[in-house]
Amino acid sequence: MPETFALVRREFRASVRTRTYLLGTLVGPVLIALVFVLPLVFMKVGGNRQVVVVDADGTGLGARVAATLGADDRYRVDLVIPPPARADSVRAALRGRVAAETIDGYLWIGADAARSGEVVYEGRNAASPRDMGDIRRAVTPAVQTERLRDSGVDPAVLSEALRPVEVEALGLRADAPDGPSRAGESMDVAMVVTFGLYMMILLYGMSVLRGVREEKENRVVELVLSSVRPEQLMAGKVIGIGAAGLLQVTIWVAFAALAIGFGDVLAVALGAGLPDIPSIPWSLGAVFLACFLGGYFLYASIYAAVGATATSGQDAQNVQMIATAPLMLAFFAVFAVIDDPAGPVATAGSLLPFTSPLVLPPRIALAPVPAWELAAAFAILAVSCLAFLWIGGKVYKVTILATGQRPSLKQLWRWVRAG
């Protein structure tokens, strides 16, 4: 098959040498870098809070809240215990400081707060769910401790009872003999695969469609088809452009890995925690890879077949919907599967070739999938890929003469059957 190899190599070179490819390969990592580095920077630079805790109660509740909140690096906490008579003027002064932006806000723990529950936070960041969550998590145990102590509970018993519990999520799977894995991480990788595939199909599927259309437009197809079969030409295009896409994705992933490595250094430098590099079982990785490749091939073949029906650029815009619609369907099915990985949508979506490559990764990360179902899914996917290459070749053959008006679907079907 030296001629097929020649076709693949030509397509690969043609896509790699475009300006958009070069740009995408370079800009991609910059975006990845931003995605990894910016949150760390924001966390450090934008995230610091200057908060004053006012203990109008005077029972030591304020000190406990301030200590808990202050344990978080993001908060710089001052404790003020005003004499009851001056409470109002202290409050006014704090409001002034918030307005002058010398502090972000103040937490007012009113007299008898443990019983009445009157705790007020006033500040510029009062709308931030994250900040308010932090503050609630600091106040609640302090108030609960206070209440329990009031009821006469021994402080030693109390501290033992309030010791935090760590819940670790480990996914146990029948199909992963290498033992339990962290389920969350498998899911993270699955979502990267699914969204990556979605992007890859949109980007490179369009490339395939454009390539097919241009070959027809500049008539070189006639010369090429005097040497090879149209299915060969299509397969060469799908594989060649796919290889260029994979190379780009590999560069991005390699860069992302570097960024994570660099991010670790940066994170340590900035005093944040170490992000984990996800680890997934090999068997799962193999399924993910098969989904990625199979999904790309199926949709690229569909885009190629659709491109063969187009006779002009304008036309291609219209017909690409035929290929994009099932992709959208698959995309929405993914969310249904995340909600219920064992439900009917998940089962049907795993067997339907248009959806299975996107649906399977999150599903299999969430719940075990029976081996027969997996085998059936990939068999259907493989057969569908070949079917679409074949149909694409037929369409190519019958539309090579057709310039001008695009054939109707009915006409196409008749041609495909006859041709």
Partner 1 sequence: MADPVVELRGARKTYGSTVAVEGLDLAIPSSATFALLGPNGSGKTTTIRMILRIQEPDAGQVRIFGRPPGPGSLDRVGYLPEERGLYPKMTVRDILVFLAELKRIPPKEGRGRVERWLERVGLADRAGDTVESLSKGMQQKLQFIAAVVHDPELVILDEPFSGLDPINQQALRDIVADLRREGRTILFSTHIIEHAERLCDHVCILARGRAVAHGSVGEVKREHGERYVALGLETWSAVAEAAVREAPGVGGVTHDGAAFEIRLVDGAAPQALLRHLVERGVDVRRFEVMEPTLHQVFLERVGRPPVEMEAPTVA
Q: Interface residues with partner 1 (CB under 8 A)? A: 2-3, 6-7, 10, 13-14, 17, 215, 218-229, 397, 400-401, 411, 418-419
What are the structure tokens assigned to 338, written together?
């995340």
CA atoms within 13 A of residue 334's CA, in its CB half-sphere: 22
C-beta of 124 vs 229, nearer to partner 1: 229
Query: What's the closest the beta carbon of residue 17 comes to partner 1, in angstroms?
Result: 7
C-beta of 1 vs 172, nearer to partner 1: 1
Task: State the virtual CA torsion across 214, 215, 218, 224 in degrees, nearest 10.
Answer: 170
Q: Which residues pair with 52 in a beta bridge?
A: 78, 106
DSSP string, 260-314: HHHHHHHHHHHTPPPPPPP---HHHHHHHHHHHHHHHHHHHHHHHHHHHH--SHH
Query: What's the closest the beta carbon of residue 8 comes to partner 1, in angstroms?
Result: 11
Query: What's the closest the beta carbon of residue 387 comes to partner 1, in angstroms?
Result: 20
Query: What's the closest the beta carbon of residue 398 comes to partner 1, in angstroms?
Result: 8
C-beta of 11 vs 57, nearer to partner 1: 11
C-beta of 370 vs 419, nearer to partner 1: 419
Query: What's the closest the beta carbon of residue 3 comes to partner 1, in angstroms?
Result: 5
C-beta of 151 vs 226, nearer to partner 1: 226
Closest CA to 200 of 113, 285, 289: 289
Query: What's the closest the beta carbon of residue 219 comes to partner 1, in angstroms?
Result: 3
Which is it for the CA torsion 126, 130, 133, 137, positive or negative? negative
* Look-up of token digits 């995408």: 24
Query: What's the closest the beta carbon of residue 328 comes to partner 1, in angstroms?
Result: 32
**Number of Cβ within a 10 Å radius of residue 87:** 15
CA atoms within 13 A of residue 383's CA, in its CB half-sphere: 9
Query: What's the closest the beta carbon of residue 206 comes to partner 1, in angstroms?
Result: 17
Write 99-104 long-range contacts (CB < 8 A, 24+): 102/50, 103/50, 103/51, 103/52, 104/49, 104/50, 104/51
Query: What's the closest the beta carbon of residue 312 comes to partner 1, in angstroms?
Result: 15
C-beta of 279 vs 403, nearer to partner 1: 403
Are 115 and 107 in contact, with CB atoms under 8 Å apart?
A: no
Closest CA to 390 of 324, 308, 333, 310: 308
**How far is residue 386's CA from residue 331's CA, in Å, rounded to a whole number?**
23
**How far is residue 330's CA from residue 212's CA, in Å, rounded to a whole number?**
25
Query: What's the closest the beta carbon of residue 218 comes to partner 1, in angstroms?
Result: 4
C-beta of 104 vs 215, nearer to partner 1: 215
DSSP label of 120? E
C-beta of 238 vs 267, nearer to partner 1: 238
CA atoms within 13 A of residue 364's CA, in its CB half-sphere: 31
